[in-house]
Each structure stands twice: as structure tokens, then as C-alpha cells.
Amino acid sequence: MSGHSKWATIKRKKAATDQKRGNLFTKLVKEITIAAKMGGADPTGNPRLRLAIDTARANSMPMDNIQRAIKKGTGELDGAIYEEITYEGYGPGGIAMIIETATDNRNRTVADIRHLMSRNGGSLGESGSVSWMFQRKGSIDVLKSAVSEERLMELLLDAGLEDMESDDEQYYTVLTDVRELESAKKALEEAGIPYENAKNDLLPDNYVELDGDDALKAIKLIDALESNDDTQVVYSNMEISESAMGSFED
């Protein structure tokens, strides 16, 4: 089992807070709409849509909202036409950042993202400037109280397990090839083992450790970007130093 960035613990806590934000359902609806547009309305043959629906239901989105989003994606209902645009750049302390957006107005979105970056100590880069530092993986959080490490590894070895990480006393994070994420979820479900936060993730090859003001500024920038209605998800290679951890865990 490999180690894990201390930033992962904070991200999990932030996710619980973000669920209370008014724009969470907006982001989920956009993902469902785009997934249905790209792969069709049948989640059994559209893994991206199936994952989007699972995430929406885990966040208590009503099925009526989910069905409307699917129909907007397939054109059965009128609605905004979203396109996915990914921005790359650098944040405080030189951290690499990737911002994935879904927008119906690319001019507005690029202006907003550029403004938020420059206002908070970041800068946009060219396409490909930092993406080479990241790998796309499937990621699932499993409570340590639900299963032993040995049992979890045994269960998932034939279901796409590539690595297991542990960032705190509560969770294992299971990493898979993105094509095997559904297989891992199915294996856990069939074994009756609960899981959280199943997603396609971008993981950095290396981390940049931040301390003091740089860590505070980076958190502020990420919060600002995530609060933007067009932003779907923000990735970075930030790791917070041990000395700075207490400021964010309180």
C-alpha cells in the first residue's frame, strides 16, 4: 500500500462542505447532461452516465432532476448546450493546476477563470503545460471499519486494482484503471462493502509541498475556482506540509 497526499484528507472534508453549496446540483446536472449527450441515455451501456447518476443519487438529487438532465442531453427536452473545456496553469508556490469546466459560453468562462487565477496568485498556461504531470485513474474510498486491508486487496485484485492508498485512520483509497472502475464498484457491491466517492480522478505523479502563506493562498484559489458555476472540478499537485496541517484540520 502506498502513501497518500495529506491534501486528500482535507479534500474529503471539503467535499462534505461543498455538498451544501447551491451550485452542487448544477455541476451534477451538467455532468449527467454531457454524459447522456456523448454516450446515450442508457446507463447500462454508458459508464460515464452510470457514474454520474450514482454520484447524483449519493448527493440526494431527485430522480426527476436526473431524468430531465438525461433528456436534455439526448435532445428530448430543450436546454443549454454545454461544452467541456479544460484549463491548465499554475497556482501559489508553483503548484500545477487543471480546471475542468462545462459551459454554454466559452468566452465568459475563460474570462472568469483567468480573473480568478490572477486575482488569487495563479496564472493560466498553454494546453499541455501541466497535464503531462497527471494520470487519469479510477478512485474509490472505502471505510477501514468496513473491511480489512487484506480482504479488500483480495476482493479487488481481479477487478482492476492497481494500488491502495491510505491518508488517514478512516479510509482506504482504491485506485484502478479508469476502464475498471465499474468492475471494482460491482465487486464491492456484491460483497456488501460500502464505499464513497467513486470517481474518475486525475492524480499527479509528484507533489509540491506548501507551507504557510502559500498553502493558505492555494486553498483560497481552489475554493474560488470551485465556487464558479462553470467549474466542474479542480485538480492540483499540492501537498500541505505537516506544520501547516493543523490550520486546515481545525
Q: What is the DSSP string of 191-223?
A: TT---EEEEEEEEESS-EEE-HHHHHHHHHHHH
Q: Is 242 exposed, middle or buried (0-12, 13-18, 19+ CB in 10 A)?
A: exposed
Residue 11 and residue 204 in contact, taking contact as beta carbons nearer than 8 Å: no
> What's the rounded Cα separation, in Å, for the pair 171 and 83?
34
Listed in sequence order, the residues at least 6 apart from 91 whose beta carbon sits closer than 8 Å to its beta carbon are: 97, 117, 120, 121, 122, 217, 218, 221, 222, 236, 238
Cell of 41: 441515455
User: What sign does the CA torsion over 68, 73, 76, 78 have?
Assistant: positive
Q: Do domains 83-132+205-239 and 134-204 have the same CATH topology?
A: yes
pLDDT for the residue numbered 68: 96
Residue 137: pLDDT above 50? yes
**Nearest residue to 79 (alpha-carbon basis) of 37, 25, 107, 116:** 37
DSSP state of 4: -
46 has pLDDT over 70 = yes
- pLDDT tens digits along 9-19: 666 555 655 55
Q: Is the pLDDT score of 192 beyond 60?
A: yes
% of the chain at pLDDT higher than 90: 72
Question: What pLDDT, on a 0 to 100 scale, did the predictor assign at position 212?
Answer: 86
- Arch. (CATH architecture) of 134-204: 2-Layer Sandwich (3.30)
Higher pLDDT, 244 or 237: 237
Query: pLDDT class for 225, splitting at 50, 70, 90?
Result: very high
Q: Which homologous superfamily is 19-74 in?
A: Integrase, N-terminal zinc-binding domain (1.10.10.200)
Which residue in this structure is represented by grid cell 449519493? Answer: 58
Q: Where are the domains of the chain?
A: 19-74, 83-132+205-239, 134-204
d(CA 28, CA 120): 26
The alpha-helical segments, DSSP class H, found in the chain are 7-18, 24-39, 47-58, 63-74, 106-119, 149-156, 181-190, 212-227, 242-249
Please give the Cα distance from 238 to 9 (Å, whole number).
12
CATH topology assigned to domain 83-132+205-239: Alpha-Beta Plaits (3.30.70)
Mean pLDDT of 208-213: 90
pTM summary value: 0.88
**With 60 as the cut, is the pLDDT of residue 177 above it?**
yes
**Which pLDDT score is estimated for 3?**
44
